[in-house]
Copies of this chain bind each other. A is one copy, B any other.
Amino acid sequence: MDLMSFFRAKKPATAQLARDRLMVAVAWQRDNDGRRNAGPSYLPQLREELLAVVRKYVQVADGAVQVNVQREDGLEVLEMNIALPEARPGS
């Protein structure tokens, strides 16, 4: 399994939903020494800034950005899935 497989599996099945997509994932993974329980204090702000950069380049409606956060022991994953607006030819 690799990351290519994951993103490829995200492809919508129907032609009607076909759209170019941009996906951004931010994962923080704790080492296994068990001493530290919380992520870095800057993690929420880092995520906000990453999202702001994406939104600067990709002007999309709020509804076009799906944000999903998953947490499991020692691992936090933030995933942004963005349906891009119709591209102009050559853009």
Contacts and interface: CB of A to CB of B under 8 A. Distances in A.
Question: On chain A, which size bracket covers the interface?
Answer: 35 or more
Interface string A19-48: 111111111111111011000111001100
A65 interface: no
Main secondary structure of the interface of A (DSSP, over half): mixed
Given A27-B22, A28-B22, A46-B57, A77 B4 contact: yes
Nearest to A36: B87
Contact of A53 (B2, B11, B50, B70): B50
Given A20-B36, A22-B26, A91-B41, A6 B1 contact: yes
Given A1-B9, A6-B6, A53-B46, A91 B40 contact: yes
